[in-house]
A and B are shown apart, each in its own frame.
Chain A
């Protein structure tokens, strides 16, 4: 069973992933992660409805811009753990489109990818099992601080530590 890590803790997953529009049963229901094309074409769920969509890491981020309203979650699919396009997508969703909901990585998520995901704006990742989840959480904590700016720490080390004094 895949295990969800949210905010660096193992938690039950309240969401249901709808793989394709055919599986959606016309639902706009609570707790569903719809395929993006379905989400973008369907009537938008109401304010009270807790829903979101998923995309491939390689999607053109500008296509998402007009469809983030009402989405409490965006899930990014990593077809292979070494495919870093989803990292750029995460950065752009957070820093350029200002998405503030849950940003989730799923697919082929090697626990060692967690440190990159975390710093690129992902607050949730779905990994293979409990052991992988534990490794993922540990790996995020294994490096105290990094040189460059990130979504998590927008100031690079040279502006925080080496201030030239």
Chain B
């Protein structure tokens, strides 16, 4: 992990005091609501329906056991004993007092954490594959580049007052687990034929009101030019992005208006001035950053295939968990364990202080003290010795963190929705719960196979409904909560946007609609064809016919 040096620590502490002073001026009446809004957003503080919400950055989804314990302590001291894992690798607290936020930030700074730029029209927390550094399909570990971008984008003198929020995601594995096609900038990190690290840049992807798949504007950018090229993109956007209409202010609108080709030319013109300038990465800096993410000292272990098979045979529930929640590690004898927060009856992504403490303890006991969170709102323990999997599973079961549903229908991605968020048109959590209650039979879930079901409470699409295989969007219909359903979205390598099936549904009808969609799939699939492939093959009509057939 990246460890703060004196430089980082001083910066973060000064930033806390700067925000403390801003808060004091607001409370003294020196700053208007609108003025303070912009300042607090740059420190992750929203004013929500019930209380302020503080969004803490978990840079590229990586945190230490010490940091997770600090988050647990914050949830106890300043909140109601729980936090919420967001879809962008952040942790949100829903009940802090506005006046105590500077103290919370000071507590975070003690463990090298912050809430800088987790909201507002600026460069947000950079995200990546939650398996970075350990995945067996990894080509390049993206974390050093994430940290380089985190530092570069932190309180940038020129790019902290953009037309709109700006999200950057990186992915260095064969499988895209970072949804790089639907970010303002998605960066594919790869190696060229000679083994040097290069970047492909996708620009103008995004969800929200106008979902768009990003366009490739540059392939094979050599490693040292990462920051100067980013600077060129951000400058073109900052100068030319629309500021007259917030719904047309994202970079995707600019890229579309200019066309990706012209946008790329503008970036190249700008980059010509910046290329090889002082922000060009030095070998020393690249080495330093890569050194921060060097692998932990793995003891020499062998794969425990036979022992695991015996354990799985004896305990079907453990077998289910291994099948869905355990992923291949690049080092023999190790495994990656995903701890699902998607227990029926619990809002997706919500975790209690006790769960946080427990996960921190397991990270120490079974790994190297490191935890990840992914955009699917689950915890990940990246380095579990295979011989410890069974023990971990038993303890995770006791803490309600062992639902064997990762990647399945009930591993629902869901925003906080109308229960908490003042932007929402409709509630999202009760929909998730109703679906989870209906589908509590693991064997059936497993038979359905990988299905991403994503729910957003409004057009802002925090629940990423456009890229759910099944997407559900809360809409306001003459003051009543309705839900629009889409099918065929996907956030991975062959990303696609879901298509709306037809007129929207009342809340109570949604589980039935989902069931009919799944029935069509089960009837029409060929052998083990996954849901997404089946939809792509047979198209929307069969689903539409079944869903809108009169209730039988």
Produce 1/0 per residue, B113-146, CB < 8 A to A. 0000000010000000000000000000000000
Is the CB of A26 closer than 8 A to any CB of chain B?
A: no
Produce 1/0 per residue, B34-45, CB < 8 A to A. 010011000000
Produce 1/0 per residue, B14-42, CB < 8 A to A. 11011001100100001000010011000
Which residues of the other chain, A, contact B7 by a CB distance below 8 angstroms?
A: 145, 157, 161-162
Is the CB of B192 closer than 8 A to any CB of chain A?
A: no
Question: How big is chain A's contact interface, by range?
Answer: 35 or more
Is the CB of B235 closer than 8 A to any CB of chain A?
A: yes
Q: Which of A87, A113, A163 contacts B158 (CB 8 A)?
A: A87
Is the CB of B161 closer than 8 A to any CB of chain A?
A: yes
Q: Are B158 and A164 in contact (CB under 8 A)?
A: no
Closest B residue by C-beta to A151: B157
Q: Are B278 and A154 in contact (CB under 8 A)?
A: yes
Q: Are A148 and B161 in contact (CB under 8 A)?
A: no
Closest B residue by C-beta to A95: B273
Q: Are B273 and A146 in contact (CB under 8 A)?
A: no
Which residues of the other chain, A, contact B287 by a CB distance below 8 angstroms?
A: 164
Q: Are B22 and A112 in contact (CB under 8 A)?
A: yes
Q: Are A147 and B154 in contact (CB under 8 A)?
A: yes
Produce 1/0 per residue, B212-253, CB < 8 A to A. 000000000000000100000001001100010000000000
User: Within the assembled complex, what's the spacing in Å between the Cα atoms of A55 and B239?
Assistant: 14
Q: Which of B154, B158, B239, B278 contacts A159 (CB 8 A)?
A: B278
Closest A residue by C-beta to B42: A112
Closest A residue by C-beta to B15: A143
Check A110/B35 contact, CB under 8 A, given A135-B25, A139-B18.
yes
Is the CB of B10 closer than 8 A to any CB of chain A?
A: yes
Is the CB of A120 closer than 8 A to any CB of chain B?
A: yes
Q: Are A81 and B278 in contact (CB under 8 A)?
A: no
Q: Are B158 and A142 in contact (CB under 8 A)?
A: no
Q: Are A148 and B156 in contact (CB under 8 A)?
A: yes
Q: Are A156 and B278 in contact (CB under 8 A)?
A: yes
Produce 1/0 per residue, A71-87, CB < 8 A to B. 00000000001111101
Check A88/B243 contact, CB under 8 A, given A154-B278, A164-B284.
no
Which residues of the other chain, B, contact A138 by a CB distance below 8 angstroms?
A: 21
User: Within the assembled complex, what's the spacing in Å between the Cα atoms of A138 and B21?
Assistant: 10
Q: Are A84 and B11 in contact (CB under 8 A)?
A: no
- Closest chain B CB from A30 CB (angstroms): 33
Q: Are B121 and A85 in contact (CB under 8 A)?
A: no
Check A85/B238 contact, CB under 8 A, given A110-B35, A142-B18, A163-B284.
yes
- Closest chain A CB from B103 CB (angstroms): 18
User: Within the assembled complex, what's the spacing in Å between the Cα atoms of A146 and B283?
Assistant: 21
User: Within the assembled complex, what's the spacing in Å between the Cα atoms of A120 and B161?
Assistant: 12
Q: Which of A81, A96, A159, A161 contacts B38 (CB 8 A)?
A: A81
Enumerate 20 A-B pairs (CB-CB under 8 Å) in ascending A order.
Answer: A84-B238, A85-B238, A87-B161, A88-B158, A88-B239, A91-B158, A116-B161, A145-B11, A146-B155, A148-B151, A148-B152, A149-B279, A156-B279, A157-B151, A158-B282, A158-B285, A158-B288, A162-B285, A164-B282, A165-B284
